[in-house]
Amino acid sequence: GAGVSQSPSNKVTEKGKDVELRCDPISGHTALYWYRQSLGQGLEFLIYFQGNSAPDKSGLPSDRFSAERTGGSVSTLTIQRTQQEDSAVYLCASSPQTDYNEQFFGPGTRLTVL
């Protein structure tokens, strides 16, 4: 079956512009995660959605970052007034409704802020 997909694969923007990154999770997966991977770094948790519950936003680095998940499926991560330090690969993952939290990752969106 289809895996997690993300779009765009690459995004170049100018400092101060807003960007939207999209994630399509695996069909039937109830949990969705966003991570940020800066150059040479590990994965930094940003936000987590589980079903209809309130999202866990504890990893969002500033109020310029927000995310929504519509209809329990597609998610959009929005970064407002982008800064150069926002340049990174943004990874999305989804997980089925189990206790084991096995996450399946998309290919990522590489964001470059000039």
Partner 1 sequence: AQSVTQPDIHITVSEGASLELRCNYSYGATPYLFWYVQSPGQGLQLLLKYFSGDTLVQGIKGFEAEFKRSQSSFNLRKPSVHWSDAAEYFCAVGARGYNKLIFGAGTRLAVHP
Where along the sequence are the contacts to partner 1 (CB under 8 A)? 4, 31, 33, 35, 41-43, 45, 48, 50, 56, 91, 93, 99-108
Can you name the residues that pair with 78 across neighbouring β-strands? 20, 66
Q: Shortest approach of partner 1 to residue 87 CB, angstroms?
A: 16
Q: Shortest approach of partner 1 to residue 94 CB, angstroms?
A: 11
Can you name the residues that pair with 23 across neighbouring β-strands? 6, 75
Q: Based on the number of CB atoms within 10 Å of its own CB, is 53 exposed (0-12), middle (13-18) or buried (19 or more)?
A: exposed
Q: Which is nearer to partner 1, 14 or 42 (CB)?
A: 42
Tokens of 113: 């802020």
From residue 101, alpha-carbon distances to 29, 31, 33 in Å are 11, 9, 11
Q: Which is nearer to partner 1, 70 or 98 (CB)?
A: 98
Q: Which is nearer to partner 1, 41 or 112 (CB)?
A: 41
Q: Shortest approach of partner 1 to residue 81 CB, angstroms?
A: 27
